[in-house]
Amino acid sequence: MARNPVTWLGSPTFPKAAHKALADTQLRQNLRKATGTIRGRRAAAVAEMTDWEQLRVAGEQIKDDVLARLDTLLVQLEESVTARGGVVHWARDAAEANRIVLDLCRAENATEVVKVKSMATAEIALNEALEAGGVHAIETDLAELIVQLGDDRPSHILVPAIHRNRSEIREIFQRRMGVEVSDEPADLAEAARVYLREKFLTTKVAVSGANFAVADTGSIVVLESEGNGRMCLTLPETLITVMGIEKLVPTWQDLEVFLQLLPRSSTAERMNPYTSVWTGVTPGDGPQKFHLVLIDNGRTATLKDSVGRQALRCIRCSACLNVCPVYERTGGQSYGSVYPGPIGAILTPQLVGDMHDPQAASLPYASSLCGACFEVCPVRIDIPSVLTHLRAEAVEAKGRTAESVAMAAAAWMFASASRYEKAQKAGSLARFLARDGRITSLPWPGSKWTSSRDVPAPPQESFRTWWRKNRG
C-alpha cells in the first residue's frame, strides 16, 4: 500500500524537528503573538455563553452517535445527495481520492482549479497529485495562498501561515505577485483580492472540503471568512467536494450545536462572516455539476480503537493548538503533518496507522499532558488520555529500550512503599551534583533529560522523612 501523505515524506521525528524550531526566535515571536491574541479572544467569546458546557456535551454525544452509526448515515447521505442531483464517490485512501478528483477535472478539460481551504485535500496531498496530472490548483484562502506562494508548508489548522508575520507576508507577495504593497494587513488582503479576482470569475472547476454534511438532507456546510469560499462554491460550473467520512451530522437540527461551537472555538467570533450550505444542485444557482468524494484514508482503522476513535469527533477548530505550550514553542511544522498540535499528535499517528514509523510514533510524546487542550475542545476529546494510550502503543511497537527498562524499573519501585522510600533517599544524594540548586548535567541515563534542560536539586530529605520526624 502507498504511504499515507498525512505526514510529510522525510520529516524528522518530533524531538529533532522541535530542537531546530526552538532555535528560531522569529518563529517563536510570531507564534507567541498570534496564539496569545486568539487565546484571549476565544476565552471572551466562550464566556458570553452560559450554556457552553451543555453545548460541548451535546457536540460530543452527537459525534459519538455518528461514529456508532457511520455506515447507515453514510448510505443515507449518499441517497440524499444523489436524490438532489449530486454524484457520490468513495475512496479507500489518498491515492484513490486523488485519482477520482483528477479524472473529474480531466472530464471537464480543466487545467486549473480554484480551491477553498480544506484539511482533507491537504491530508491527501491533492494539489501535488493534480499538478503531476497537469492540473494546477490555486489556493484561494489567504493563509493557504501565503503558504502556496512561499513554497512553504502549513503550520496551523485554521491559519496555515500563522508562522509568518506581516513583513514576511509582504515579502512573499511582492516577490510572487510582482506588486508593491505595504505590510498593513488591510493592504495585504487587498493584494490577494486583486490577485485572485480574475481566477474566480473565469475558472470552471472548484475543489472544496466540508465542515459538515447533514445525512438526512444531503446538505453540505462550509464555514469561512473571506468570501473566497462563496466564490468557489458559487461561480464555477463544476464543484468537487472532498470530505472525510466522519464529517457527518445525522440531522439538520444537529447543526444548531456545531454552528455555535465552531466559530467561537476557532476564530473567537459569535459567527464567522460567511457560512454556505448547499444540497446537491440548484437549477439556475451555482455549479450545475456536484461531486462529493468521501475518503477513508485511515479513519476506519482509527474507528477500531475504542480509546483513540474519539479523535474522529474533531471539527478542526484549532483551539487546542492555540492553548498548547508545546505548540506555541515548536510551531506546527515540527509535527511533520498537516495536522499539528495536540489534535495532530493523536490524529496523525492513527491515520498513519503504523507505530513502527518513528516519526508518527514520536508524535504522542509532543505534549506535557497539561490538559489545556481537553479543556478548550468543543467536542470534549480527551487528548491527554489518547496521548498516553498511543504512547503505550508506541512503546509496545518499539520493544525493549532504555526508556522502557527505566519505566519498568520505575513501576517496580512505585509498586512498594518501602522501595519508593529507599529510592527517594538514594535520589537525595544527587544534591552533591547541584550548583545553586540546579543540576545542569546528570550522568547517563539522566543526561537524556539534562542535555536540553536543568533539573532542580532534590531536597535534603524527602517529604516522607520530614513527616515522620515532625508529625509521625
Q: Which of 48, 151 has the CB closer to other proteins?
A: 48
Q: Which is nearer to other proteins, 185 or 445 (CB)?
A: 185
* Nearest residue to 192 via CA among 168, 173, 207: 173
Instruction: Report in angstroms how near the CB of residue 6 gets to other proteins at its nearest.
Output: 17
- How far lies 346's CA from each of 82, 108, 312, 356, 454, in Å? 34, 38, 10, 15, 28
Tell which positions 172-231 bind other proteins, by CB under 8 A. Answer: 185-186, 188-190, 192-193, 196-197, 200-201, 214, 217-219, 225-228, 230-231
CB of 353 to other proteins, least distance (A): 12
Within positions 387 to 416, which residues make up the interface with other proteins, using CB under 8 A? none
10 Å Cβ neighbour count for 348? Answer: 26
In terms of Cβ atoms closer than 10 Å to its own Cβ (0-12, 13-18, 19+), residue 19 is middle
Q: Which three cell numbers stand for residue 331?
A: 510551531
Closer residue to other proteins (CB): 16 or 166:
166
> For residue 173, what are the contacts with CB-CB under 8 A and spacing of at least 6?
146, 149, 179, 181, 188, 191, 192
Window 247-266: residues binding other proteins (CB under 8 A): 252-253, 255-257, 259-260
CB of 240 to other proteins, least distance (A): 16
Query: Which residues between 294 and 353 bind other proteins (CB under 8 A)?
Result: 294, 296, 300-301, 303-304, 309
DSSP state of 225: S
Whole-number minimum distance, CB 156 to other proteins, in Å?
A: 9
Integer Cα distance of 261 and 115 in angstroms = 25
Judged by CB under 8 A, which stretch of 20-28, 163-171, 324-332, 368-376 contacts other proteins?
163-171
Query: In angstroms, what is the minimal distance from the CB of 439 to other proteins?
Result: 39
Q: Which is nearer to other proteins, 160 or 364 (CB)?
A: 160
The reply on whether position 286 binds other proteins by CB under 8 A is yes
Q: Is 245 in the site for other proteins (CB under 8 A)?
A: yes
Shortest distance, position 453 Cβ to other proteins, whole Å = 29
Binding residue for other proteins, selected from 16, 153, 166, 391, defined by CB under 8 A? 166
User: For the window 125-154, what string marks contact with other proteins as x by the rule CB under 8 A?
Assistant: ---------------xxxx--x--------
H or E, element range at 396: helix 383-398
According to CB under 8 A, which one of 51, 103, 180, 396 is a site residue for other proteins? 51
112-115: strand order across its sheet = 87-91, 289-295, 238-244, 205-208, 112-115, 136-139
- Our finding on whether 435 is near other proteins (CB under 8 A) is no
Backbone angles phi, psi at 290, to 5 degrees: -130, 125
Residues 55-114 that bind other proteins (CB under 8 A): 55, 57-58, 61-62, 64-65, 67-71, 74-75, 84, 90-92, 96
Q: Which amino acid is at 406?
A: A
Q: How many CA atoms lie within 13 A of 151 on its CB side?
A: 2
Pick the closer one to other proteins by CB: 209 or 280: 280
Instruction: Confirm if 6 and 339 have CB atoms less than 8 A apart.
Output: yes
Q: Candidates 278-286, 393-401, 408-416, 443-451 — which segment interacts with other proteins by CB under 8 A?
A: 278-286
Q: How far is the CB of 424 from other proteins (least distance, A)?
A: 44
Contact positions with other proteins (CB under 8 A) in 23-42: 30, 33-35, 37-38
Q: How far apart are CA 352 and CA 370, in angstroms?
A: 25
Q: Does 46 engage in binding with other proteins (CB under 8 A)?
A: no
Whole-Å CA distances, 439 to 19, 424, 431, 445: 21, 17, 8, 14
Instruction: Answer for the pair 208, 115: CB distance below 8 angstroms, yes or no.
Output: yes
- Going by their DSSP bridges, the two strands 112-115 and 438-439 should be labelled as unpaired
Q: How far is the CB of 387 from other proteins (least distance, A)?
A: 21
Range 427-433, long-range pairs (CB < 8 A, 24+ positions): 427/458, 427/462, 428/458, 428/459, 428/460, 428/461, 428/462, 430/457, 430/458, 431/457, 431/458, 431/460, 433/457
Considering only 179, 271, 369, 406, the residue that binds other proteins (CB under 8 A) is: 271
> Does 425 help bind other proteins (rule: CB under 8 A)?
no
Q: How many residues of this chain interact with other proteins, rule: CB under 8 A?
A: 96
Which is nearer to other proteins, 252 or 466 (by Cβ)? 252
